[in-house]
Amino acid sequence: MFQKNQTNKDNVIKELTSFSSLSKRYSNHLPEYNFIQLPKTKKISFFHDNVPYTFCHTNNLFIHENIEEELERRTIHSVKHFKLGIKRHHSIIKKIYELCSGLYPYEDVWVMVGGGLQIQMFYGTSRGYVGTLYLSLDNKEVSDNDNCTFVVNGKENDKIFINNFFIEGVNFRSHKSVFGDN
């Protein structure tokens, strides 16, 4: 019985997280955007002011009883963070995207919306994350970009960013300064 229930749950997750299903779900909340699948990463994405924003919050759905309800909750949360992110911080998000695109010229760079109470943008390529931008709390009104921090992900990316990250209003933290030599 467990195997059959698990197989059914796996099939539900596969269907709900397909590109067509996710693009319809997001189109309900963001009808002004056309959703695409980035070629190498297969992430659901769309462009806002030439920045490829992406959503990816489909992991660990199997632990929830009502998968569709949980996916909708996550979608609403991601859309909220996207809207607050572009309203409050888009100029900085875009500057960091442009920097990453220059530092990784042969990669497709993307900006994934994330965070819990704090709005975060995760920058990455088809090889993985390169850094995280920590922004404002979603329940606080802010009028400036003070206290934004970019943290490099992975010690191999430190050497790429350390002498190249000069964005006004953004604190920079190397991977090593946060995580040590790990």
Reported as a pLDDT band with limits 50, 70 and 90, residue 150 is very high
Residues 6 or more apart in contact with residue 69 via CB below 8 angstroms: none
Furthest C-alpha separation in the chain: 58
Structural domains in the chain (count): 1
Residues of the domain holding 172: 2-179
pTM of the full structure: 0.85
| Average pLDDT, rounded, for the chain | 83
CA neighbor of 29 nearest in space, from 100, 91, 113: 113
How do beta strands 170-173 and 36-37 pair? unpaired
Residue 136: is its pLDDT beyond 50? yes
Instruction: Average the pLDDT over 158-162 and give the result.
Output: 93
Both structure tokens of 39: 């070629």
pLDDT at 4: 47
In which band, very low, low, confident or very high, does the pLDDT at 62 lie, cut at 50, 70 and 90?
low
| Predicted local distance difference test score (pLDDT) of residue 25 | 85
1, pLDDT greater than 50 = no
Residues 20 and 179: their CA atoms lie apart, in Å, by 38
